[in-house]
Amino acid sequence: MLAREAVRRGARNLTLEVRVSNEAAKGLYRRFGLAPAGIRKGYYVETKEDAIIMWANDVDGDDYAARLARLADGVPGTTIHERLD
């Protein structure tokens, strides 16, 4: 899971941009603790669609680790991680 790898590498916060119209992605990111923090007007060049900037803070704490564990428990099957470093 990318969020766990970011924490392992020392991240304290996570951020991303998502299309305003992408309700499914926004819902998924909320489950990961990201919350809207701003708008990037015309961010997607091909459509001039705005992006919502989302942030999750304090991802290096126990509460966020518990959130990730709950999310991982809810995913069926197994995931194979390939380390690139």
Q: Is 29 part of the annotated catalytic residue set?
A: yes
- Active-site residue among 5, 23, 29, 44? 29
Considering the candidates 17, 43, 44, 49, report the single residue annotated as catalytic: 17
Those residues whose C-beta lies under 8 Å from the C-beta of residue 62, and which sit 6 or more positions away, are none
Residue 17 among the catalytic residues: yes
Compute how many other C-beta atoms are within 10 angstroms of the C-beta atom of residue 14: 19
Cβ neighbours of residue 78 closer than 8 Å, sequence gap 6 or more: none
Residues labelled catalytic: 17, 29
